[in-house]
Structure 1
């Protein structure tokens, strides 16, 4: 890469990972969110990630409007960056006034498996877990330098996010790859674990096929099986974003300990299905959708079409 290209990309990382989101987080939220909505109309923003996401989504969302879908997807990504700063700068009272919650977290006096999705923007949920008394790790793969940007600023931003997560309530990551023993150890210590199942399964022997958007979706079921062996309750939750006001939604379903793997997977898929029908552009895994949807001949479900223009 030419030195001029490295400088330009580093400048873009500095602007969009630090300067712009940090400044917007300092503004009154209605003003900051209005600016983010205007930024979401810029086609060049996040082009390298938005383009493959749309390419994956349009196969399953034939009624979606491309321009509106991409704007909504960009808006979510912009809000995610700003949330890294909002969670540090705003009080619990400020957040409570902007979150509409449905359902209850499991009791904080015992460990639980907390399942969520690569849907929406949920950085802020850690402060909600802390307020409820839940001490939780999260499952993650080790980040590569290119995951959040290009070069040193992206690495620095990744470290900042890791520090911020601990600051607002996370007990830290449990990295994938032989993580079962570490998850069981966390449960034994009374800590909960947050994980996501909406990923291409690596092992089809430990997977479950469920209906999502009228199609068959294959999901890894290892975590659900582990919860059954450990005898811990399961909570399924999702963190949404109101594209008009910037308000947040938190939906929680709690399943008792002893719930079968099949029931956990069915409830998980049903929750994902509802959220995708509401805001299909909020799913981060569209670029990998073809690796998960196995029923490509099925017709798309009604209600999975275009998001309204912002």
Structure 2
């Protein structure tokens, strides 16, 4: 069957990862810590990465802002302004219809292909990736083209290869809060200086290697998967979706990874532990992130201590579990 023209196309994984890696390079150069997400124009996640010590919650906020920019095809700052204009009832209705837009913050940017069509959105958030200037950062690094450049927007625009344009309102006012008056005759600044490849992200590199090992085994098995690597609290560290994988795969991988990390057992064990009717639902209501009691998630231990969870989703659950186990063995 021929595919009709005009359909929504998502950015491919390799290109999305390249944008995220540029963001991490710039973030490390500036001494920042946070997470970065790329969501396809369809609203499906493509990839997300958290820098070492990037802080819990940043990946979820970045993913939400990227979703808004990708699906609404505008900077999330513009969407935020629209929601403020239309009134509370309409804004709440938007969030109910679009639950992945639950954090409608500024800073997300649409990504366009050479024809100008939006194929994804990218955003950042985290412990120190924000629109506020850290007081201990070199001031010259926060100036781009002679203008104050807040950390979050600077990193995102650098990653996209775009000139800096602030997305969070008055950069001059935030500069004054951190540093005092902006110079009358400012230097061009070093905000746009090329960033070297990040060299101090061991957890991130490990998580990417684990995701790569999963994809290598999935490709050999002839299946398409999504991968989620989470920390021991269930917060994402690395998320990747192979091109063409089922859209549900992302949510399945997140659920089994969180189950394995939070409970420190393979994800399918939960079903046997909580057999009384309604108990699993009660458990899910207690936890800070969704969990899934199905094969595909495994705890990851270092020196006898669970430090992470690996989740694989997409194919039949038993296949996901086998791929996850093989990938973990390959890195042990």
- TM-score scaled to structure 1, two decimals? 0.25
Query: Which of structures 1 and 2 has the larger relative contact order (alpha carbons within 8 angstroms, sep 6+)?
Result: 1
Say which structure is richer in helix: 1
